Structure 1
Amino acid sequence: MGETSQTGDLKLGGHTIAMGERRRVELPVARLPTDTWLTLPLEVVRGAQPGPTVWLSAGIHGDELNGLEIVRRVLDQIEPDRLAGSLLAAPIINVFGITSGDRYLPDRRDLNRSFPGSAKGSLAARLANLFMTEIVARSDLGLDFHTGSNHRTNLPQIRANLSDPTCLRCAEAFHPPIVIDASERDGSLRQASMERGIPVLLYEGGEALRFDATPIAVGVQGTLRVLVEMGMIETPPTAVPKPAAPCVVSRTSSWVRARRSGVLRLEALLGQRVAADEVLGSIASVFGEGPKRVRAPHDGVVIGMALHPLANRGDALVHVARLDA
């Protein structure tokens, strides 16, 4: 678990934040070629009562914006005098990518394959190390917000290691349309944090470079329910109660890939239940000739899909998750 004392002052980025205080903090990341500093913006909310420390992070990929809005809306509903514990909110981690609308860093590295990083490594490694040192090490739980990318959209979903009791309990509290029992990817923030014993929920929802109303709303409500589950807040008046039905859980999933290049016409919808071999759409020439049907690989639910109508052979088209019996 994190190193933050539940009582007393919190020292972060050269600032001292007392219990019951809300403070904006900027962590220096790197000096630009223009000789100006680029900083990682944080909002720290310390409750008047002791409790756990939770971080909220978004913008690890610079083209993924829904999380930025989720974090803002959650912060709007948190007041220090009604909070037990601390909330460390980082709406933009990849400050380089956000400013340019690029998924990656200037060195073309994927920040979410660079954790835990190094204070003496590449730009990506240094930024990853900064986040691990200043935020993760002080926390008891993390919520990391993502979207689809590369002209794909995702059904709102939580990805977590469900063998971890805290991950399972908080994923159930979040209660998205589906929970994916997913292993951690090498170099990811989730893997690096889990290796330190700090559980993480990764939220996926919507598409890149825009605000998607439904995934944002699902993310806000789920986050508030997790904070209630952690004993940090009372249920806000704006919170939607968790559905009575148990979470829909998947432990495996498959991407359907294009069997030919051409124009993609999908009929399937996000969240749709499908049967094995069910037609999800087709790919044909620009004149509609030589169509190849896109079929479901197995029974399940559509959790991701391509948005670009032009496809190359081998492109990922539809992501179908198997459902637990």
Structure 2
Amino acid sequence: MTTTLGTASADPGEIDTGRLEVGETRDGSPFGLPVAVINGERPGKTLYMQAASDGDELNGVGVIQRVVPKLDPSELAGTILITGIVNYHAFQIAEHRNPIDDTKMNRAYPGNETGTSSERIAAATYEAATRADLILDLHQGSTSRMIDEVRVRCGKRHRLHKDCLELAKVFGCGHILDQKGPDGQLARAAPDEGVPTVDPELGGAVGWDEASIQKGVDGVFNVLTHYGFLDGSVDIEEQTRARGFEQYGAPSGGLVSFRKELGDRVRGGETLFEVTTPFGEPKAEVTADSTGILWRTRRLPQVATGEYVCSVATDIDDY
């Protein structure tokens, strides 16, 4: 059976790429998102993947760039649908939000086909995504420094919570954030349509980071193998799961020096960071309120009073 996504069309055993038209630019020219269809020779499930929902989060694009050339449809059961770059306008200028409507794309789902620029893009990609049996929405921690993790955003009371957790564990970054997400996230909205969805957050970088990209590539192939797209089996390892965050800001302006590394376990009362003057004179010391894991930090050392510095994941267990 022929499968299409935008102008990409593939019969069983074929790969095709094309564009999913979603509007016009300011000069009236039509534009489309880059899409691909990989139609396996044998019938099976459908996987949907997308990247660059936030225009400066490029590690997911790197994952897709490396995964697609490794896929042979003659060895594949089922179909893979891919949107390589979702936030078209933000990607062009390497910004996080869509500059046409100043919107964070991953707050616009399920979208509106007659709405704003972001809502129209969200509606088009949501229609494609919800044709699938599984969804991987590839992200990263923007330009902050962050560990590799997978986010389950449907909430623990959702009927697909267990299925989303399984998908996160199979992807296998080693860390899972199991916390209900904000309205408008794809990983929050698509489970309501019956599709298990996770949000792999592949580190954080300016540009892209090869180590995090490789974790994403490995994760995609884990999913393809575990769910029967490819032959073989996956050893599913125990993950560290967090269910919440505590965020820390700077009590004074100056330069931040961290006393813990990303991924380190911290205990309540342990020093997370210090703030000094440009001459190294101490101004403030910030300690952890609770036991957890240093999950995310700002990239630049200079801070103003009250500015974000880091996040500690809390309510930790092994899953």
TM-score normalised by structure 2 residue count: 0.92
Report how far residue 15 of structure 1 moved. 5.1
Q: Is the 8 A contact 2:5 2:81 kept in 1?
A: no
Which residue is equivalent to 1:118?
112
- 1:257 Cα offset (Å): 1.8
Match of 1:200 in 2: 197
1:1-325 maps to which residues of 2 (within 5 A)? 8-14=1-7, 16-105=9-98, 106-133=100-127, 135-149=128-142, 151-160=143-152, 161=154, 163=156, 164-235=161-232, 242=235, 244=237, 246-322=238-314, 323-324=316-317
Structure 2: runs of 5 or more not aligned: none
Counterpart residue identity of residue 258, structure 2? L
Determine if contact 2:169/2:236 at 8 Å carries over to the other structure: no
Q: Residue 101 of structure 1 contacts residue 209 of structure 1 at CA under 8 Å; is this kept in 2? A: no
How much has 1:177 moved relative to structure 2?
A: 2.3
Give SS of 1:291's match: strand
User: Are 1:170 and 1:229, in contact at CA under 8 Å, matched by a contact in 2?
Assistant: no
Deviation at 1:235, TM superposition (A): 4.2
> What SS does the corresponding residue of 1:117 show, helix, strand or coil?
coil
CA shift, 1:79, in A, is 1.0
Secondary structure of 1:206's counterpart equals coil
Distance 1:60 1:20, change over 3 A: same
Which string of whole-angstrom CA distances, capped at 9 and with x for unpartnered residues, describes residues 58-109 of structure 1?
Answer: 1001111000011121212211111111111222101111111111112211
CA-based RMSD of the aligned residues comes to 1.9
Q: 1-side partners of 2:132 and 2:240: how far apart?
A: 28
CA distance in 1, matches of 2:187, 2:292: 26
Is the alpha carbon distance of 1:99 and 1:292 closer, same or farther for their aligned partners in structure 2, counting shifts above 3 Å? Answer: same
Contact 2:256–2:273 at 8 Å: present in 1 too? yes
- For residue 242 of structure 1, report the CA deviation from its aligned partner: 4.0
Q: Which TM-score applies when normalising by structure 1? A: 0.90
| SS of the residue 2:130 aligns to | helix
Instruction: Structure 1 unaligned segments of length 5 or more: list them.
Output: 1-7
Identity of aligned residues (%): 28
Counterpart secondary structure, 2:147:
strand
Q: Quick one: which amino acid aligns to residue 231 of structure 2?
A: E
